[in-house]
Amino acid sequence: TENGERFYLIINGVRQNDEAQTNVRVTGLTAPSYKVKIIFENPGLKSLDKTIYFAEDEEVEATYVIKRDRKNRLVLRFMNQAPLPAVVQPQPNQFVIPYHTSPLPPSPPTNILPQNQGGINVSVNDPNTGFNMNIGINPPGQQGNYPYPPQGQYPPQGQYPPTGQYYQMPGYSGPVGCPWPLPQDQFEGVLQSIRSKAFEDSRLTIAKQVIDANCLLSTQVKQIMMLFSFEGTRLELAKYAYGHTYDPGNYYMLNDAFTFESSIEELNNYIRQAGPVGQQIRPLPPVYGGGTAYIGPVGCPYPLNQQQFSQVLNSIQSKKFEDSKLTIAKQVISSNCLWTAQVKEIMLLFDFESTRLELAKYAYGHTYDIANYYLLNDAFTFESSIEELNKYIQGYRW
């Protein structure tokens, strides 16, 4: 920008620089178009969005500039274009990094002089700030990912991206399906665009278009669902958006958008079959109950914090019938990691011993402190239930 504001560069939903910079060059892009987002370090500045298109099979360096328009608004504008040089010389204080489609590894690459391997080079620049993208016809290299750690073990070290590489949602510690949810000001525009259509099928087309191109919060998915009258359409949208949701651990919140229990059950079955979404980025683990001295085996990496869990309990308690409560409980368990104490609290919401036993079995593979599972014994009346749970645990295969 003209005043040198520091920013983060997001390309196709993935942040390219882990620290805010004033000048960024990204190399190694291979597609004819990219969705670009600029998020400024200063939270008072609105983010910028633009889709940039290029002619295929050309090797050029195109420059875009971040500047203020006549209304004093920051905008992203094309500046110039030139043939891509054999050796790209970075400008002073320019941050250079190869394009990546997954979050950055813990040690970001250093600024180097990249050799020209063919492609289109695009930079967003002005005297103080810019970013650069290299778009070529060369095949992209293999990208890394951040796999869910093996269950029944301590989470392996060094396998998760630094927290600066994805949005940190206050109070949320569950799995992350996509890194950067749509800012609220942009989401309001999305809602307005969907509402502008008179027919449900036209609204559905726009909604799916938005979902395909963005990362959403569970609450945003629910707001979109509520713009539709038919239950079948709401269910279709809930399924469609699951793989594009930042906080899949909160997906149970969508249940209130349905009238029929069958819709909740169908969505729950869909989620179980879909399995983990996105790259399963995990925030740092919270502390339950003010602290924990647990040092035993770990069944899953990052359990729910107490604030989230209180919302879960309220959602389950809001249902009148035991089978409805059970559906929501299983939905929550399958999408999250729990403490043994949390599993027990959920069990105690049910009157029937058989339901408590069913939940205890169901939750075992989604429990952080599995060595504490004996604490669930107090939730049972009959010794036979304890024995059956013990046999289940002994035969469990991670």
pLDDT tens string for the chain (398 positions)? Answer: 567 888 888 888 888 887 888 888 777 777 778 888 898 888 778 888 888 877 666 777 777 788 888 888 888 888 777 777 655 665 667 777 777 776 554 433 333 333 333 333 444 444 344 444 433 322 233 222 223 333 333 333 223 334 456 677 777 877 888 888 888 877 888 898 888 888 888 888 888 888 877 889 999 999 999 999 999 999 999 999 998 898 898 999 999 999 999 999 999 999 888 766 654 444 434 333 334 456 567 788 778 888 888 888 998 998 888 888 999 999 889 888 899 999 999 999 999 999 999 999 999 989 988 878 888 988 999 989 988 998 898 788 76
Q: How far apart are the C-alpha atoms of 35 and 123, rounded to whole Å?
A: 14
267 lies in the same domain as 305:
no
381 lies in the same domain as 301:
yes
Question: Range of 325's domain?
Answer: 296-394
253 lies in the same domain as 339:
no
130 lies in the same domain as 13:
yes
CB 10 within 8 Å of CB 16: yes
184 lies in the same domain as 131:
no
Residue 2 domain flag: no
Residue 149 domain flag: no
Residue 72 domain flag: yes
Residue 140 domain flag: no
Domain count, the chain: 3
- pTM attached to this predicted model: 0.42
Reduced DSSP (H G I as helix, E B as strand, rest coil) percent helix, strand, coil of the chain, to 5: 35, 20, 45
Q: How far apart are the C-alpha atoms of 255 and 238, rounded to whole Å?
A: 10
189 lies in the same domain as 261:
yes
Residue 16 domain flag: yes
Residue 235 domain flag: yes
From residue 350, how far is each of 86, 220, 319, 388 by CA, in Å? 69, 31, 11, 18
235 lies in the same domain as 324:
no
Q: How far apart are the C-alpha atoms of 386 and 81, rounded to whole Å?
A: 72
From residue 230, how far is each of 64, 198, 203, 204 by CA, in Å? 44, 14, 12, 11
126 lies in the same domain as 23:
yes
Contacts of 78 (CB under 8 A, 6+ apart): 62, 63, 64, 65
Q: Taken in order 264, 270, 272, 274, is the CA torsion positive or negative?
A: negative
Of 242, 274, 306, the residue that ends a domain is 274
Q: How far apart are the C-alpha atoms of 84 and 117, rounded to whole Å?
A: 10
Please tell me the predicted confidence (pLDDT) of residue 390. Answer: 83
337 lies in the same domain as 221:
no
Residue 385 domain flag: yes
223 lies in the same domain as 329:
no
Please tell me the predicted confidence (pLDDT) of residue 11. Answer: 87
Task: Kindly state the tokens that stand for 69.
Answer: 């328009």
